[in-house]
Amino acid sequence: MTAPVQVPRQTTAISLVAKRPGFFAKNRALVLSASALILIILLVVVLPFLLPDPNTTDAGSRLLPPSFEHLMGTDKYGRDYLSRMMTAGRVSIGMTLLITLLAAVLGTLLGLVAGYFPRVGGVVMRILDAWMAFPAIVLAIVFAVIIGPGVLSELLAVTVIFTPFTARVIRSRTMSLAARPYVRAARVAGMSSWKTLLVHVLPNTLPLAMVQCVLLASGAMLIDGSLSFLGLGVSPPTPTWGNLVAESRVYLSMRPSLLIFPGLAIAIFVFLVNIAGGSLRAFVDPRMRFLQERARLRRAGRLAG
Amino acid sequence: MIPVILRRLRDLVIIMFVVGTALFFLIRSIPGDPAKVLLGIKATPEQLAALRADLGLDGPLWQQYLEWISRAVRGDFGVSIKYREPVTELIFGHLAPTITLAVFATVISFGLTVLLVTWSTVKPTSRLSRFVNRLVQFGLALPEFWTALVLILVFSMTLRWFPPSGYTPLFQDPATALTQLAIPVVVLVIGQTAFFTITLEESVLGELTQLYLRTARVKGLSEWRIATRHVMPNSLLPILTTVGMNFASLIGGIVVIESIFVIPGLGTLLLGAVYARDFPLIQGGVLFVAFLFVFVNLLVDLTYSLADPKVRVA
């Protein structure tokens, strides 16, 4: 290991960083919510390997209350509810990530093209407006009729609904980037328009796209929940947090814990994603950072008016 | 003013046309012959031909499309397979509960939002403002279907204050109707208020940086007067559009709520149509929901242009 003292420029950089408050102190909400999310994802991925099989039925131990043996009790077939919850978490979070990723990639591409080629952009935005006229659940109903209710219909419906939101944000960013001198210089220097878009515009929209991703994830989780609750998404015996809530309805008065756990899981996940997304937004949107800081000061009573 | 209305009406027609066309071809792209599916294997060729003609499924695709468009323009969406009634009549028969829920939820949550945000603008350090600020994040995170069931568990099954399901038309028996609507509306209001509050707060924060507020304070206006006369009107304008766009997610919530509380509205109608594979009803119903969405946004934009002098003059 070479001592960093020998390289003067690096030392100044380090000392400059050291003087500022640490990343954790400045972004406590972000760090806490992000670590909690990572913890949840780890739990959901690792725990099913250690727990009893979520599909093993046991007629002798139906609808047991939470106990040491079954931490969340058992369901109507005597299956361990904690195992079901964790497997459901894999499916629900997996669906959420898949929808988010698809919508963000598609939306970014559409937004780039619509923003960089104004003539195409007008047409694309008109079509996107028409897309947004569908409530996601209603579109899921359409796809459920066409290809049968299931993973594919849910994925298609929600992706189609979410894509325009990303596309709009990325488009306006692209439009402002396209007018920058360095982008024009690249074009004048003979770079093709697609290559300019790829090399000079796309990288600058990526932070924004990432934040959009996080913001979409909370909506995706809620819609995934509603759709599997209504039987339009992933259906039993594969558990999701949404269809676990639906299954618990019959035993509502007898064993309310079956209702409480999966709903709470969705709520906590969405809550954490919202907090993380809100703090991330401050990184890409200076106006947002300014406003959030003002709001904090006002509530602390340190900002007059 | 009139050009604004005309332009919006043109957009409405374009969007309805695009949505209708997309729906038509999506539904026609389903493999298999709907007539055969509906009548089963015992059907005679004459019966099949008659049903195809009935459903508008005979002739080449473009001819079917033109036929469908010309009927749709006259408000004729065919006959539902499940109910054997005209789709248009079915939709209007199931409209009242959905509209009742939507209006109650929107009016109550919008009113509540304006009250809460005005309070937190005037007294940002008060306990209520800080509490609301925390609570909003929870309100946004709660899934409607779950909140509904939890409220049923607490208020219908344990405390027995409200019935767990059912629907009575509002003007037929207001007392019963209101007790039945209480939980569904509260569920919708929680989510909507949280969303409106966060949007309006952001708008207010932006407005608070304006310099004219300093002038207002210097000339001695009270914080209340500044908030109600200056900050609120200016911050409310941009969020009107948000209220309109939010209509789509409100409809989504209403579909879920209707299914939980067994309310015979549009959502229940459409969900029932999925399981019966009732194509004409799905096509008409979905197109109608899209129409509602565009129409609500048209109304919002018109209110906007009436309220905003800059837009009114332009």
Query: For the segment B244-301, what is each residue's pLDDT rounded down to a tens digit?
Result: 778 878 888 888 898 888 888 888 888 888 777 777 888 888 888 888 888 887 888 7
pLDDT at B160 over 70: yes
Closest Cα of chain B to A80: distance in Å?
21
- Answer whether A138 sits within 8 Å of B277, measured CB to CB: no
* Local confidence band at A231 (pLDDT 50, 70, 90 cut-offs): confident
- The better pLDDT of the pair A149, A170 is held by A170
Of A23, A87, A131, which Cα lies nearest the Cα of A239?
Answer: A87
- Highest mean predicted confidence (pLDDT) among A94-98, A117-121, A249-253: A94-98
pLDDT at A156 over 70: yes
- Answer whether B129 sits within 8 Å of A274, measured CB to CB: no
Lowest mean pLDDT among A34-43, B148-157, B276-285: B276-285
Average pLDDT over residues A246-250: 83
pLDDT at A13 over 70: no
In three-state form (DSSP H/G/I as H, E/B as E, the rest C), the secondary structure along B221-253 is: CCHHHHHHHHHHHHHHHHHHHHHHHCHHHHHHH
- Measured in residues, chain B has a length of 314
Cβ(B262)–Cβ(B166) below 8 Å:
yes
* Local confidence band at A86 (pLDDT 50, 70, 90 cut-offs): confident
Cβ(A157)–Cβ(A136) below 8 Å:
yes
**pLDDT of the residue at B247:** 81
Any B CB within 8 A of A233 CB: no
- Grouping H, G, I as helix, E, B as strand and the rest as coil, residue A200 is helix
Cβ(B240)–Cβ(B300) below 8 Å:
yes
Compute the count of residue pairs across chains A and B with CB atoms less than 8 Å apart: 162
pLDDT at A263 over 60: yes
Best residue of B126, B274, B275, B283 to probe chain A, by most A CBs closer than 10 Å? B274
Best residue of A139, A142, A255, A266 to probe chain B, by most B CBs closer than 10 Å? A142
Q: Which of A137, A229, A299 sits opposite B125 (nearest CB)?
A: A299
Which residues is B79 bridged to in the sheet? Answer: B86
Question: How far is residue B201's CA from residue B116's CA, in Å, rounded to a whole number?
Answer: 10
Which residues is A80 bridged to in the sheet? Answer: A74
pTM of full prediction above 0.95: no
Average pLDDT in chain A: 80
For B3, other C-beta atoms within 10 Å of its C-beta total: 8
Question: How many Cα atoms are found within 13 Å in the side-chain-facing hemisphere of A152?
Answer: 5
Closest Cα of chain A to B181: distance in Å?
20
List of residues 6+ apart from B184 with CB closer than 8 A: B101, B148, B257, B260, B261, B263
Which residues in B lie closer than 8 A to residue A40 (C-beta atoms)? none
Closest Cα of chain A to B124: distance in Å?
5
- The better pLDDT of the pair B81, B135 is held by B135
Angle among Cα A225, B80, A145 to the nearest 5 degrees reads 35
pLDDT at A14 over 60: no
Question: How far is residue A231's CA from residue B274's CA, in Å, rounded to a whole number?
Answer: 10
Q: Is the ipTM of this complex over 0.95?
A: no
Cβ(A241)–Cβ(A262) below 8 Å:
yes
Buried b (16+ CB within 10 A) or exposed e, A271-304: bbbbbbbbbbbbebeeebeebbebbeebbeeeee
List of residues 6+ apart from A137 with CB closer than 8 A: A223, A226, A227, A230, A232, B251, B252, B255, B256
- The better pLDDT of the pair A191, A5 is held by A191
Domains of chain B: 2-92 (no CATH), 95-264 (1.10.3720.10)
* Local confidence band at A2 (pLDDT 50, 70, 90 cut-offs): very low
Average pLDDT over residues B157-180: 79
Any B CB within 8 A of A275 CB: yes
Cβ(B165)–Cβ(B155) below 8 Å:
no
Q: What is the pLDDT of residues A192-202, one digit of tens each?
A: 888 888 888 88
Average pLDDT over residues B151-160: 83
Question: How far is residue A96's CA from residue B104's CA, in Å, rounded to a whole number?
Answer: 31
Q: Which of A226, A271, A274 sits opposite B252 (nearest CB)?
A: A226
Q: Which of B124, B206, B270 sits opposite A299 (nearest CB)?
A: B124
Average pLDDT in chain B: 82
Q: What is the pLDDT of residues B29-57, one digit of tens each?
A: 766 666 666 666 677 777 777 777 766 66
pLDDT above 90 covers what percent of chain B?
6
**pLDDT of the residue at A47:** 79
Lowest mean pLDDT among B38-42, B100-104, B134-138: B38-42
Q: What is the pLDDT of residues B4-13, one digit of tens each?
A: 778 778 877 8
Which residues is B86 bridged to in the sheet? Answer: B79
Nearest residue in chain A measured CA to CA from B128: A299
**pLDDT of the residue at B181:** 83
Environment class of residue B214 by beta-carbon count within 10 Å: exposed (0-12), middle (13-18) or buried (19+)?
exposed
Closest Cα of chain B to A294: distance in Å?
8
**pLDDT of the residue at A121:** 80
